[in-house]
């Protein structure tokens, strides 16, 4: 068996996978590159990954000798991860990802008792010697490239296709006709919502409240109102409006949260339009993330780009985990096939 490590900003997940590619068990720990940013040290991230790995083995009575290697992707390869590995430059396909895996056996990096195969991230090709004037073309990913390979492997979609990741960020990724990641564009949408909820006085207006009467607004109405506010009053002012909705108008917390979600999504659509202008338009979209966000973005994509655009969604947590696992296996295929697996 082997392990698949998915390290993000705040959480790390480890999946234990059989040699046949079946999920055996998994675990999650609230540790990520955010800890490195806060402390200035990799120690918390390193010990957190190691502790999670060993706790999974112990809890499920897995003999460490039965684990042959680990495949790691995500922010773990960034400058605030466990080891900084330069991005590959798009366009990048499965072959390039697989051939450029970095095998690490140094316990000072991470001590799991097995080799760790680190998957490189991908950045946009914005030219040599770029300055801040090129910022709108600059973007990168760490982790999503593995999920994209999982989608291509499992769904075999008609190409080209735009894949939309709805998590702590919204990331739009273009897969070209050759199945290569051609470019990406990213916003901070998920983090903006969390910051608004947890770090501002608007937060109490969008958390669940009892005893409130609904205003009776439909989904379509609230999305339309949010769109009007963002486009005419501006995004920052719109983020204050849930307070007005709670104190001065008749609404409940569900309506106010949908308003905020819709406002953030409407602002994200600007990035979708820019992606088209950069030459990465597609008539097909695959979304993955929380079900309610998939529904909202599907609605806005159809409203913006036309009802004929083909949009599908993956929101089941097990299905999303399976994408990561299948993508990791596919990405590590060059290493596994060359006999380098245990070196």
Give CA–CA dist 168/144, Å, rounded. 12
CA end-to-end distance (rounded Å), the chain: 16
DSSP state of 332: T
Q: CA separation (Å) from 323 to 4, 133, 150, 216, 239? A: 11, 36, 4, 39, 34
Q: Name the residue ranges covered by the structural domains of the chain.
A: 2-188+269-337
2-188+269-337 CATH: 3.30.420
Q: CA separation (Å) from 269 to 213, 231, 283, 288? A: 31, 11, 15, 16
For 195-216, how does the pLDDT look when each residue is reduced to its tens digit (9 = 90+)?
A: 999 999 999 999 988 889 999 9
pLDDT band at 342 (very low <50, low <70, confident <90, very high): very low
CB 89 within 8 A of CB 123: yes
Please tell me the predicted confidence (pLDDT) of residue 210: 80
pLDDT above 90 (res 255): yes
The closest alpha carbon to 87, from 68, 74, 71, 72, belongs to 74
Tokens linked to 292: 């309610």
- Verdict on whether the full-model pTM lies above 0.85: yes
For 74-89, how does the pLDDT look when each residue is reduced to its tens digit (9 = 90+)?
A: 999 999 899 999 999 9
């Amino acid at each position: 068996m082997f392990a698949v490590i998915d390290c993000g900003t705040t959480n790390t997940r480890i999946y234990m996978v059989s040699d046949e590619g079946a999920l055996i068990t998994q675990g999650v720990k609230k540790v990520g590159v955010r800890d490195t940013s806060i402390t200035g040290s990799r120690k918390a991230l390193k010990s957190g990954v190691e502790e999670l790995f060993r706790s999974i083995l112990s809890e499920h009575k897995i003999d460490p000798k039965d684990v042959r290697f680990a495949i790691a992707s995500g922010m773990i390869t960034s400058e605030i991860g466990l080891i900084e590995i330069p991005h590959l430059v798009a366009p990048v396909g499965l072959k390039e990802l697989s051939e450029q895996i970095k095998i690490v056996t140094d316990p000072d990096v991470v001590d799991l008792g097995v080799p760790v195969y680190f998957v490189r991230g991908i950045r946009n090709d914005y030219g040599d010697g770029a300055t801040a004037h090129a910022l709108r073309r600059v973007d990168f990913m760490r982790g999503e490239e593995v999920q994209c390979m999982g989608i291509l492997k499992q769904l075999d979609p008609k190409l080209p296709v735009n894949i939309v990741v709805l998590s702590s960020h919204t990331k739009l990724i273009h897969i070209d006709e050759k199945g290569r990641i051609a470019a990406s564009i990213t916003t901070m949408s998920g983090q903006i919502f969390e910051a608004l909820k947890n770090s501002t006085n608007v937060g109490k207006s969008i958390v669940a409240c009892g005893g409130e009467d609904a205003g009776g607004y439909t989904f379509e109405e609230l999305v339309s109102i949010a769109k009007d506010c963002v486009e005419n009053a501006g995004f920052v002012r719109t983020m204050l409006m849930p307070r007005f909705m709670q104190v001065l108008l008749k609404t409940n917390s569900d309506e106010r949260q949908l308003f905020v979600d819709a406002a953030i999504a409407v602002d994200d659509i600007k990035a979708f339009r820019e992606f088209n202008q950069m030459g990465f338009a597609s008539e097909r979209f695959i979304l993955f993330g929380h079900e309610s966000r998939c529904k909202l973005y599907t609605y806005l994509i159809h409203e913006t780009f036309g009802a004929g655009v083909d949009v599908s969604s993956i929101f089941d947590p097990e299905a999303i985990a399976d994408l990561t696992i299948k993508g990791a296996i596919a990405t590590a295929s060059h290493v596994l096939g060359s006999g380098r697996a245990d070196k």
